[in-house]
Every structure is written in structure tokens, then in C-alpha cells.
């Protein structure tokens, strides 16, 4: 089986869907020109609001969202599948769903996942965020979706801190795990790369983590870490974009893409040579 190239896109979403769509369609054109087989975009690519009430008021259904309709048209035009995080209205209407869509090369929504774990944190001298004020928890882990790259298991941002969903997706046949994110700067500096590499190593899967970066509003009350990356099944970072300045000296990049190879033969070799034989006689299988 031949290797495929996948691209991750990194943007800085604002409350303007028009602005954010322009950023994303530009990345679609660049990823297509670079020969990517698919493009992975961050969480909340359609918008990042300044308050819980604004988050709810901006949400649109996928049938009417100009952002989603624009991405579907671009995916079809470039014959490029997309993974992209968006907001959808909840059934009750007083919250939103934090959703990850798989849009195929025909521009059709082929798969979706709703974020399980919500980011409710209070960091000393850092951000205080309570996602549950505006977001409805997802009901289940979805089975991996078949794509040109392999079987993709969908997860979002704060799901990264919980190994159980990634292990369940590996059990269900996933080759690639996605963590589109808008990580805060303090938690990003502390845990982003470590957790991504851990999920890749323990599942022997590719991990694709497209990220938001920079300040999302003029008041500078919301800021994302960046450093979107791709990790291979051995735990090696094989592609990385920029972000907040840190000890590695990587600067801030906005509206960028990075590509890496997805080699399913290498993945199967890793799994074959280091078999993870679980002791399900001692502890339960995560399925």
C-alpha cells in the first residue's frame, strides 16, 4: 500500500464566519496544490466567540451555515476530503454541539462526532473557562470512518486527556486519531505534545492534531496555543506548526499548513513488532 500525504491547517478563528471561511478555503487551495489526500482543520473553525451567549447565538445548522456550505463547495471543487470542527445548535436551543465533521471529496458530510469531554477549568493566574455553560456533551464514541488515508477515529481537544476513547477507537480498527483543538497557552505549554505522543504510542496510531493559534478577539481574553502537529505510531512528531514562543524558539504562525506521510504498512509493522497483548483476564477490554 502506498503512503498518503495528509495536511493539517492552523488558523486563528474570530467571531466572524466570513473571515474564518476565507482562512480555511485558502488552506484548502494550498493543501490541494501540495497534493494532500485530506486536510484536517481545528476545533471551532467556524467561530470562536467572546461569551457563552454569543457562542449560542452564532450557531447555525449545517444546512444553513454559510461556513459549512462554503467548505463543502471548496471540498468538492478541489476533490479534497476535510475534517473540521464546528458548532451546531443543540436540540434544546440553549446550548450548542461541539461537532467534528468529515466532509468527503464530493462535498458531502459523511461522518460526524460530538465532543464528549468539556473543558471546565480554573487555572491559577491563567484562564477560567467553563465550556459546559454553552456546550452540550456528546452521547457516544462514534466508530471510525473509512477515508482515503485509512480508518479515522474522531475526538476533539479536551478528549485528549482521557485515554479510554482513543483505546476504544483503536479496538474498533482506527489507524488515525484526530484531536482538533483550541488549547489554552498554559495547558498547551504543559501538556499538549506530551499527551499527543502518549495517545499515539499507546494506540500505535497516527495522531493528527490541527490547532487554533493566537488571540481570538480584540479584547485579548481568549488565546490559543497553536503547535498543530502530526505524530506517528512510534510517537515521533513528524510535522509541527508554530505557536506561542517557547524554549524551542518556535514563533507564531497563522493560516499555515503542514504535511506528513500516512503509511499504513509502517503502522502495521509497528503493531506487529511491538504487539500490545492486553490482559483482559485482569482488567476489562475498552471497546
Specify whether 24 is catalytic.
no
Number of domains in the chain: 1
Structural domain contains residue 166? yes
Look at residue 131 and give its three-state secondary structure: helix
Active-site entry in 12, 24, 97, 115: 115
CA distance readout (Å), 23 to 46, 97, 218, 244: 10, 22, 18, 19
CATH of the domain at 99: 3.60.110.10
Structural domain contains residue 46? yes
Classify 19 in phi/psi space as left (phi over 0), alpha (psi -120 to 50) or beta: alpha
Structural domain contains residue 281? no
Active-site entry in 12, 136, 142, 157: 157
Q: Residue length, the chain?
A: 287
Structural domain contains residue 282? no
Question: Nearest 5 degrees, angle CA 270-CA 111-CA 95?
Answer: 115
Structural domain contains residue 285? no
Specify whether 97 is catalytic.
no
Per-residue pLDDT of the chain (287 residues; tens, 9 = 90+): 457 789 999 999 999 999 999 999 999 999 999 999 999 999 999 999 999 999 999 999 999 999 999 999 999 999 999 999 999 999 888 999 999 999 999 999 999 999 999 999 877 776 678 899 999 999 999 999 999 999 999 999 999 999 999 999 999 999 999 999 999 998 999 999 999 999 999 999 999 999 999 999 989 888 999 999 999 999 999 999 998 766 665 656 568 999 999 999 999 999 999 999 999 999 999 98
For residue 119, give its domain range.
4-273
pTM over cut 0.85: yes
Amino acid at each position: 500500500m502506498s503512503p498518503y500525504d495528509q495536511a493539517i491547517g492552523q488558523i486563528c478563528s474570530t467571531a466572524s464566519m466570513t473571515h474564518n471561511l476565507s482562512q480555511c478555503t485558502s488552506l484548502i487551495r494550498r493543501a490541494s496544490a501540495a497534493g494532500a489526500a485530506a486536510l484536517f482543520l481545528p476545533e471551532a473553525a467556524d467561530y470562536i466567540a467572546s461569551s457563552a451567549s454569543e457562542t449560542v447565538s452564532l450557531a447555525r445548522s449545517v444546512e444553513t451555515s454559510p461556513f459549512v456550505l462554503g467548505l463543502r463547495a471548496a471540498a468538492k471543487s478541489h476533490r479534497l476530503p476535510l475534517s473540521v470542527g464546528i458548532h451546531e445548535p443543540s436540540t434544546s436551543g440553549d446550548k450548542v454541539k461541539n461537532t467534528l465533521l468529515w466532509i468527503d471529496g464530493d462535498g458531502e458530510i459523511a461522518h460526524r462526532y460530538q465532543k464528549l469531554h468539556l473543558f471546565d477549568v480554573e487555572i491559577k493566574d491563567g484562564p477560567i473557562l467553563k465550556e459546559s455553560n454553552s456546550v452540550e456533551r456528546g452521547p457516544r464514541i462514534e466508530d471510525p470512518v473509512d477515508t482515503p488515508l485509512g480508518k479515522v477515529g474522531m475526538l476533539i481537544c479536551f478528549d485528549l486527556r482521557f485515554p479510554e476513547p482513543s483505546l476504544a477507537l483503536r479496538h474498533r480498527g482506527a489507524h488515525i486519531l484526530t484531536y482538533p483543538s483550541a488549547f489554552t497557552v498554559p495547558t498547551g505549554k504543559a501538556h499538549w505534545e506530551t499527551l499527543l505522543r502518549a495517545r499515539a504510542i499507546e494506540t500505535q496510531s497516527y495522531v493528527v492534531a490541527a490547532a487554533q493559534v493566537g488571540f481570538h478577539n480584540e479584547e485579548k481574553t481568549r488565546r490559543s496555543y497553536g503547535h498543530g502537529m502530526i505524530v506517528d505510531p512510534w510517537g515521533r512528531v513528524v510535522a509541527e506548526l508554530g505557536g506561542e514562543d517557547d524554549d524551542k524558539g518556535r514563533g507564531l504562525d497563522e493560516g499555515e499548513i503542514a504535511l506528513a506521510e500516512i503509511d499504513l504498512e509502517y503502522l502495521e509493522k509497528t503493531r506487529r513488532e511491538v504487539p500490545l497483548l492486553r490482559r483482559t483476564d485482569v482488567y476489562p477490554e475498552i471497546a
